[in-house]
Amino acid sequence: MLRNLGALGLVGIVLLLAGIGLIAYANWIVAVGIALVLAGLGLVVRSLISGMLQSFGMF
């Protein structure tokens, strides 16, 4: 999976984790909420892309 992301994707993941870490330093409950929202958003985007690829017959 990491091979498919490329360098820009890896930088994005590092920035995402650093941002959640910074928020967790201030307030861990808010950081957990933001992490759950981001995980849910990622699942929704993955589902949408998968559905789109299936409609084109590519997946």
Q: State if pTM tops 0.85.
A: no
pLDDT in tens, 15-47: 999 999 999 999 999 999 999 999 988 888 888
Alpha helices in 1-59 (DSSP H): 2-26, 28-55
pLDDT of 4 higher than 80: no
Confidence of residue 2 (pLDDT cuts 50, 70, 90): low
Confidence of residue 48 (pLDDT cuts 50, 70, 90): confident
Give CA–CA dist 12/7, Å, rounded.
9
Give CA–CA dist 25/45, Å, rounded.
28
Q: How far apart are the first and last CA of the chain?
A: 16
Compute the half-sphere exposure of residue 21: CA atoms within 13 Å on the CB side of its CA.
6
